[in-house]
Amino acid sequence: NVGYVRQPKLLWSGKWFMHEDQVCELAEPVSAQPHGIIVHWQLYQDGVAKGQNHTYFFVPKSHVARFPGDGCDFSSISNSSAFWKYLYISDTTIRGNSINDDSSRTVAGVTLSNNKFVLTEVLGV
């Protein structure tokens, strides 16, 4: 099937900073996906995911199989702000970290706006 593109499968949706007490329960295990997952972050203001500054990160299923529950870094710099999120990814869950809504952290001279970005989707690919 030349030209066929498999559509991603929605495994979780919401709008979470991913605090240390937030755990995404995935609809299907990472191991059941052909290649892995994509975590999708968006700008968040006034209680709303703004549909702006979309940021996507791929996590291979081989990583989750080799390092189940280990921490993963996700960072981005856009024209308006920067963030650094830390997630613990296992085969069936994604758990957050206390830094994920911190607005006072500076790394390498860049002030992070972790409190301005939320996880809105986890996609199986």
pLDDT band at residue 74 under the 50/70/90 scheme: very high
Under 8 Å CB-to-CB from 37, ≥6 apart: which residues?
A: 11, 26, 30, 58, 59, 61, 64, 89, 122, 123, 124, 125
Model confidence, pTM: 0.90
The whole-number pLDDT of residue 4 equals 66
Inter-CA distances, 20 with 77, 88, 99, Å? 23, 10, 8
pLDDT greater than 70 at residue 3: no
Under 8 Å CB-to-CB from 75, ≥6 apart: which residues?
A: 82, 83, 84, 85
Query: What is the length of the chain?
Result: 125
Rg (CA), the chain: 15
